[in-house]
Amino acid sequence: SAPTGATSTALGANPLLSPIDRPRRLRATGAVRALVREHTLRSRDLILPMFVREGIETAQPIASMPGVLQHTEDSLVAAAREAVERGVGGLMLFGVPEAKDAVGSGATDPAGVLNRGLARLREELGDATVIMADTCLDEFTDHGHCGVLDARGAVDNDATLERYREMALAQARAGAHMLGPSGMMDGQIAAIRDALDAEGFTDVSLFAYTAKYASAFFGPFRDAVGSSLQGDRRTYQQDPANGREALRELELDVAEGADLVMVKPGLPYLDVLRDVAQASPVPVGAYQVSGEYAMIEAAAANGWVDRERTVLESLLAFRRAGATCVLTYHASEAAGWLQGGLPEHLAEFA
Ligand code: PBG
């Protein structure tokens, strides 16, 4: 439309009523909004967490995470290929074993479901994407804790580090490019780095779960990995009331050799993400966890929020808060939207 001049008003005399600063000027057209937009979302910023389950013939739905599947090896490969074709930056693999025990034996078995899945992905995809592995025992233990227990039933930090070292080596041998130690044991990054280097895996990188909170938002993940936790994780995951200890964990992880660091959950902890992003000398990721996914899906299914906009807005919020990359169960789908080019009504998200 043709430019129009300002309407004359009687308010001109009072500067409060006739603002000199008009931020709306930079919002007036799609073109000017595009020109001044600070943050963007790209497919390669997104990492897709995936589940591979042992002993199933066909992929299984996860009730509390509609749209997410527990994969067979074959369906895993197909979904991984699709995500990579859409341009996602990486895949984070979790295993769902048939049998669990006190020490999580399946985690270190080269024929265990996670190690087999990693080997298959590396064989099929080579270096076309970054293949990441969850380095943690909770999917493999019958008590559901992230480590092994001592005689009193408490999670034994240092005995767990020994298991993590073995697990990391099994994952590196299987072909993982990057490991994500998510158990919040003290010293886990140094212990794993040392084990990897001693076997020559100096190029396998570590994506440290640096600030990971004892969160209710992990709820649906328990369904996803068939885990029933005995007790809770408050002796090793961070207290939701605390911000400062995230910076202490950051210092330790970086000193121990973390290549990237992560904040998790995502949206409820954007303040922590911002603090970590400002202080970190290494790239920072955010994990939009299972409960966040479930909330968006449930609200969208009810017609209470616009699904596409809510997904994209939440992912862009992580970028604005300082995340270099974002783990999200929407990664493949969102990458598909971005790949096709977003329509005008979603223009602010790309
Ligand atoms: C631990 C791990 C968990 C998640 C990622 N890694 C579970 C937990 O710590 O309770 C949760 C991810 C999610 O909720 O999406 N292996």
Q: What is the pLDDT of residues 41-53, one digit of tens each?
A: 999 999 999 999 9
* Regions of the chain where pLDDT drops below 70: 1-12, 15
Whole-number pLDDT of residue 350: 84
Is residue 27 marked as binding? no
Determine the atom of ligand 1 nearest the C-alpha atom of 220: 14
Which protein residue's CA is at the shortest distance from atom 16 of ligand 1? Answer: 136
Which protein residue's CA is at the shortest distance from atom 14 of ligand 1? Answer: 218
Phi, psi dihedral angles at 180 (to 5 degrees):
-115, 90
Alpha carbon separation from 255 to 98, 157, 176, 210, 248 (Å, rounded): 37, 19, 23, 12, 11
Q: Which of 264, 296, 317, 349 does the annotation list as catalytic?
A: 264
- Whether residue 283 has a cis bond before it, omega within 30° of 0: no
Q: Which of 120, 177, 212, 330 does the annotation list as catalytic?
A: 212
Neighbours of 57 (CB within 10 A): 6
Determine the atom of ligand 1 nearest the C-alpha atom of 212: 9
Which class would CATH give 40-349? alpha beta
Tokens describing residue 309: 């906009």
Tokens describing residue 246: 């995230």
Active site residue 264: yes
